[in-house]
């Protein structure tokens, strides 16, 4: 059906509920394709709706929504997961069908994967250390020496040695960040609560995250060695949050521990296994190509991209062709948490993997591809999809009307950021913290790109296009990129402490709200002689008494301490016969104040400029 539309162009219309499915990062061309329209007409219609876009530009969901509503269509954006599923499907990889097709015989018990969460300072790190050091097997081999992002310990339970995997980055931020990317790695959460402090805001936050993810919780009541520790109170407090201790008739295991004195650690591990056995059916098929998640990754000078991967099902072997997010490669070598090489890794096993061509992000899914070529193609297609989605996001989401109005009121204030760091965990932590800065509605903070590794030409180009600031955390410029940044005037800041970066950004955001100015005195000069000139106005032959006098700065004239002329400008400045831009203290000069001629010997000329006041 053709009907006249906005702007007099003709576009086939939907009936109000005709569904059009689009991928993220689609353009008007893609939309036009689906409804059999001329892209140019869509450009026109969109223009009349107050938005300007070219036919090939990636648009966001809102823009498509507006356009579609006008034309009688309903837009359904294909989710990133669906898109990826389709992509893998085109390579004959169907993870869901693969799982559905597994029979009971294929499945074998796998160790639980545990994340330690809780309020800051309640002892998460200490507890992870204590657990690490209790491992008998590791003890014989010299202990767990490497921080690879996860480790496995073994616990003898009912006569059987059973491994337990711990994610070695405490806190629910990492947990949530991974979950936000669709990666559920945690089977059981240990909620650490200090017995001398009690339930705190982050305790509840952690608990909410775990419950939302349907992850059973074991409570570690920590610091029981401390005076004033009240473990019973913790049990009582947590009943309010549906965590009722077994001894009170509930089904949550509470274990009193002291991470510092290594007390109760064995009981805690026991509780983890009991909870896993009671609440979960942890099984996976080890006899297939590995599927897993990247939990930490960084770029190592000598070894290249180093990623710690948690295998979730199947077995990962040295030599396997792998793809993790947009990174691909072949497993060159694998190491465990003891720094020992391993040749294969089964379900729930964390391993450090060498051989990826680039650095994946924490939470990226990892899978083994039938051959390296496939891995590369999947990675490339993902990267293209990511780029398109990024472009869609980058487009200013503001209508012409809004824009003019907002501009007039000085309300458009967006701080765009590019974040680069040495490890993906740091980049994510920094981004999370930055996005949490509260500066009200007037200012918008947008992270337009983030990644691991040196600051590259691509980062600078992005920053140039979007007027962004680049934050480098423990990284440097790649070769020759510094010159480019200089040339383009891109502000690049380097940090090695996260809080400093946050402070700076916060200050910048506050500064952008509305800068406040204050007057700063630049210099004073005393008039020694007045040269009268009808052509140039009077010139004050002066000596600079303090600071310096600069041309084109603001000035006022004082006589006997009183202001007799204000808001003047140093219009001319001479040293002898020559023009000068500045004259310093102790030197003589000739000052012209434009049409202001009321000058006398002994007058003081004071100059100042307005400076932005730092916010407190």
- Residue 205 touching ligand GDP (CB under 6 A): no
Least distance between ligand GDP and beta carbon 185 (Å): 19
| Block residue for tokens 């169907």 | 94
To the nearest whole angstrom, how small is the minimum distance from the Cβ of residue 297 to ligand GDP? Answer: 22
Min. distance of Cβ 170 from ligand GDP in angstroms?
Answer: 5
Q: Is residue 23 a contact residue for ligand GDP (CB under 6 A)?
A: no
Cβ proximity to ligand GDP, 13 vs 124, nearer residue? 124
Q: 485: which residues sit within 8 A by CB, 6+ positions away?
A: 455, 460, 463, 470, 477, 492
* Binding flag, residue 266, ligand GDP (CB under 6 A): no
- How many residues would you count in the chain? 616
Q: Taking a C-beta distance cutoff of 8 angstroms, is the pair 207, 219 a contact?
A: no
Interface region with ligand GDP, contact rule CB under 6 A, candidates 87-95, 219-227, 332-340, 494-502:
219-227
Looking at the Cβ atoms of 119 and 449, the one nearer to ligand GDP is 119
Our finding on whether 223 is near ligand GDP (CB under 6 A) is yes
The least distance separating ligand GDP from the CB of residue 256, rounded to whole angstroms, comes to 10
**Of 76, 99, 102, 225, which one interacts with ligand GDP (CB under 6 A)?**
225
Residue 246 DSSP symbol:
G
CA distances from 206 to 112, 173, 190, 229, 246 (A): 19, 9, 10, 21, 21
The two structure tokens encoding residue 493: 């800041």
According to DSSP, the β-strands at 188-194 and 217-222 are parallel
d(CA 77, CA 21): 6
State the minimum distance, in angstroms, from the CB of residue 514 to ligand GDP: 37
Among 23, 110, 126, 449, binds ligand GDP (CB under 6 A): 126
Which one of residues 120, 278, 400, 601 is an interface residue with ligand GDP (CB under 6 A)? 120
Least Å distance between CB 135 and ligand GDP? 18
CB closer to ligand GDP out of 131 and 309: 131
Span from 39-47, 253-261, 343-351, 373-381 in contact with ligand GDP (CB under 6 A)? 253-261
Is 121 a binder of ligand GDP (CB under 6 A)? yes
Q: Helix (H, G, I), strand (E, B), or coil: what is residue 68?
A: helix
- How many whole angstroms separate alpha carbon 463 and alpha carbon 459? 6
**Closest of 600, 591, 610 to residue 551, by C-alpha:** 591
Q: Which of residues 333-392 bind ligand GDP (CB under 6 A)?
A: none
- Pick between residue 170 and residue 363 the one whose CB is nearest to ligand GDP: 170
Q: How far is the CB of 50 from ligand GDP (least distance, A)?
A: 49
Closest residue to bound ligand GDP by CB: 123
Whichever of 258 and 358 has its CB closer to ligand GDP, that residue is 258
Binder of ligand GDP out of 110, 122, 338, 420 (CB under 6 A):
122
For ligand GDP (CB under 6 A), the number of binding residues is 16
**Contacts of residue 232, Cβ cutoff 8 Å, sequence gap at least 6:** none
Phi, psi of 460 (to 5 degrees): -65, -40
From candidates 111, 123, 292, 472, binder to ligand GDP by CB under 6 A: 123
Distance between CA atoms of 600 and 559, rounded to whole angstroms? 8
Q: How far apart are alpha carbons 587 and 598 in whole angstroms?
A: 23
Rounded CA-CA distance 86/554 in Å is 65
Tokens of residue 149, six digits = 């992002």
Closest CA to 198 of 169, 226, 162, 158: 226
Burial annotation 147-175 (CB, 10 A radius, 16+ → b, else e) = ebbbbbbbbeeeeeebebbbbbbbbbbbb
Of 173 and 582, which CB lies nearer to ligand GDP in the complex structure?
173
Q: Which is nearer to ligand GDP, 225 or 588 (CB)?
A: 225
Can you tell me which of 13, 24, 124, 550 binds ligand GDP, judged by CB under 6 A? 124
Binding mask 24-53 toward ligand GDP (x if CB under 6 A, else -) reads: ------------------------------
| Shortest Å, Cβ 128 to ligand GDP | 8
Which residue's structure tokens are 């490339």? 380
Site string for ligand GDP, 160-179 (x = CB under 6 A): ----------x---------
Q: Does the footprint of ligand GDP cover residue 125 (CB under 6 A)?
A: yes
Q: Among 85, 157, 233, 260, which residue sits at the site for ligand GDP (rule: CB under 6 A)? A: 260
* Burial class of residue 534 (count of CB atoms within 10 Å of its CB; 0-12, 13-18, 19+): exposed
Q: Find, among 164, 357, 374, 361, the residue nearest to 274 by Cα.
A: 164
Q: Which stretch binds ligand GDP (CB under 6 A): 72-80, 87-95, 122-130, 412-420?
A: 122-130
Q: Give bridge partners of residue 20 from the DSSP assignment.
A: 75
- 């600069």: which residue's tokens? 550
Q: How far is the CB of 615 from ligand GDP (least distance, A)?
A: 30
Contacts with 500 (C-beta within 8 Å, 6 or more apart), sequence order: none
Select from 176, 258, 308, 365 the one that contacts ligand GDP (CB under 6 A): 258
> How far is 89 from 486, CA to CA, in rounded Å?
45
Which residues would be at the binding site for ligand GDP (CB under 6 A)?
Answer: 118, 120-126, 170, 222-223, 225-226, 258-260
């Amino acid at each position: 059906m053709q009907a006249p539309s906005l702007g007099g162009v003709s576009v086939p219309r939907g009936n109000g509920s005709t569904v059009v499915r689009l991928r993220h990062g689609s353009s008007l061309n893609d939309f036009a394709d689906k409804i059999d329209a001329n892209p140019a007409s869509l450009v026109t219609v969109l223009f009349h709706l107050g938005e300007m876009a070219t036919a090939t530009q990636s648009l966001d969901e809102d823009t498509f929504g507006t356009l579609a509503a006008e034309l009688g269509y309903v837009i359904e954006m294909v989710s990133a997961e669906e898109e990826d599923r389709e992509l893998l499907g085109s390579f004959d990889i169907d993870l869901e069908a693969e799982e559905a097709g597994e029979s009971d015989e294929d499945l074998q018990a796998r160790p639980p994967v545990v994340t330690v969460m809780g309020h800051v300072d309640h002892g998460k790190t200490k507890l992870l250390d204590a657990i690490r050091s209790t491992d008998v097997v590791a003890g014989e081999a010299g202990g767990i020496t490497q921080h690879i992002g996860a480790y496995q310990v073994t616990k003898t339970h009912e006569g059987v040695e059973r491994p337990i995997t711990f994610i070695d980055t405490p806190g629910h931020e990492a947990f949530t960040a991974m979950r936000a990317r669709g990666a559920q790695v945690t089977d059981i959460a240990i909620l650490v609560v200090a017995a001398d402090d009690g339930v705190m805001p982050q305790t509840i936050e952690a608990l909410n995250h775990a419950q939302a993810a349907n992850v059973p919780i074991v409570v570690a009541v920590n610091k029981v060695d401390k005076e004033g520790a009240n473990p019973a109170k913790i049990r009582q407090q947590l009943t309010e949050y549906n965590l009722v201790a077994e001894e009170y008739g509930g089904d949550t295991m509470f274990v009193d521990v002291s991470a510092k004195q290594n007390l109760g650690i064995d009981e805690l591990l026991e509780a983890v296994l009991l909870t896993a056995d009671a609440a979960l059916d942890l099984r996976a098929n080890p006899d297939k190509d590995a599927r897993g998640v990247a939990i930490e990754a960084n770029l190592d000078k000598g070894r290249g991209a180093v990623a710690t991967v948690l295998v979730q099902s199947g077995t990962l072997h040295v030599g396997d062709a792998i793809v993790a997010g947009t990174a691909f490669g072949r497993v060159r070598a694998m190491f465990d948490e003891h720094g020992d090489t391993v040749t294969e890794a089964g379900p729930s096993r964390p391993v450090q993997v060498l051989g990826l061509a680039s650095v994946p992000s924490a939470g990226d899914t990892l899978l083994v591809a039938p051959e390296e070529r496939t891995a590369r193609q999947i990675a490339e297609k993902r990267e293209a999809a990511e780029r398109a989605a990024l472009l869609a996001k980058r487009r200013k989401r503001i209508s012409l009307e809004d824009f003019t109005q907002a501009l007039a009121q000085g309300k458009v204030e967006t701080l765009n950021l590019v974040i680069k760091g040495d490890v993906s965990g740091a980049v994510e932590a920094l981004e999370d913290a930055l996005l949490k800065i509260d500066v009200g509605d007037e200012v918008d903070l947008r992270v337009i790109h983030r990644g691991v590794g040196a600051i590259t030409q691509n980062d600078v180009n992005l920053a140039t296009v979007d007027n962004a600031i680049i934050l480098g955390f423990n990284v440097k410029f790649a070769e020759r990129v510094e010159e480019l940044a200089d040339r383009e005037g891109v502000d690049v800041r380097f940090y090695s402490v996260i809080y400093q970066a946050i402070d700076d950004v916060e200050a910048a955001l506050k500064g952008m709200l509305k800068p406040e100015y204050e007057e700063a005195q630049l210099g004073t000069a005393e008039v020694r002689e007045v040269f009268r000139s009808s052509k140039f106005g009077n010139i004050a032959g002066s000596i600079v008494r303090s600071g310096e006098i600069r041309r084109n700065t603001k000035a006022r004239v004082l006589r006997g301490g009183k202001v007799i002329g204000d808001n003047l400008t140093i219009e001319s400045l001479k040293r002898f016969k020559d023009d000068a831009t500045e004259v310093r203290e102790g030197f003589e000069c000739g000052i012209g104040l434009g049409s202001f001629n009321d000058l006398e010997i002994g007058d003081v000329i004071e100059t100042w400029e307005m400076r932005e006041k730092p916010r407190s």
